Amino acid sequence: MPFDQLRQARFGILTSVRANGRPHAVPIVYALVGDQLVTAVDQKPKSTRMLTRLENIRLNPAVSILVHHDAEDWSQLWWVRVDGEAQIVDQAEPEWQAALVEKYPQYREQPPDGPWIVVTIDRVSHWEHA
């Protein structure tokens, strides 16, 4: 069940660790490809392409991704957390880009060009009200 929720969720929060040990969390879009979670730096406006999350992963590849469903009806609440080792990849595998384009129609005209963050999933934790 948590993998179904993980596949269907539209957004996640990627948490990496800064050099000073403090957490750094950013919203992401992502796709699951096999036992990996993939996301990419895309063309949305950013102040720089030298992103803190990329530097953090280069220094410490341990990351967590949290996805969740909020609702006023608390019986509908759930969350899934993925823990794993991330790597920065400059050139996408075709299936990574295809998975993101399929999940997010916004990428059909301008697919993400990276760099890519590829997380090999080590652990999945989840909770749901039911």
CATH of the domain at 82: 2.30.110.10
What's the confidence (pLDDT) of residue 1? 60
Residue 52: inside a domain, yes or no?
A: yes
Share of the chain above pLDDT 90, in %: 75
pLDDT, mean of residues 108-128: 92
CA–CA distance, 106 with 109 (Å, rounded to integer) = 7
Give the rounded distance of the alpha carbon of 102 from its chain centre: 16
Residue 28 lies in a domain: yes
The candidate with the shortest Cα–Cα distance to 4, out of 80, 64, 84, is 80
Give the domain range for residue 48.
2-125
d(CA 105, CA 109): 8
**pLDDT the model gives residue 55:** 95
Q: The pTM is what?
A: 0.91
pLDDT at residue 45, as a whole number: 46
Q: Is residue 64 part of a domain?
A: yes
In the sheet that 36-40 helps form, which strands lie side by side, from edge to edge? 23-28, 12-17, 62-69, 78-89, 116-128, 36-40, 31-33
Q: What is the pLDDT of residues 14-69, one digit of tens each?
A: 999 999 999 999 999 999 999 899 999 866 545 555 689 999 999 999 999 999 99
Q: What ranges in 10-72 are assigned the alpha helix state H?
A: 52-59
Look at residue 101 and tell me if it is in a domain: yes
Residue 1 CB-half CA count within 13 A: 7
Has residue 130 been placed in a domain?
no
Number of domains in the chain: 1
Give pLDDT tens digits for 79-98: 999 999 999 999 889 999 99
Nearest CA-CA partner of 52 in 96, 15, 78 = 15
- The answer to whether residue 99 is domain-embedded is yes
Task: Name the pLDDT band for 129 (thresholds 50, 70, 90).
Answer: confident
Q: What is the mean pLDDT of the chain?
A: 91
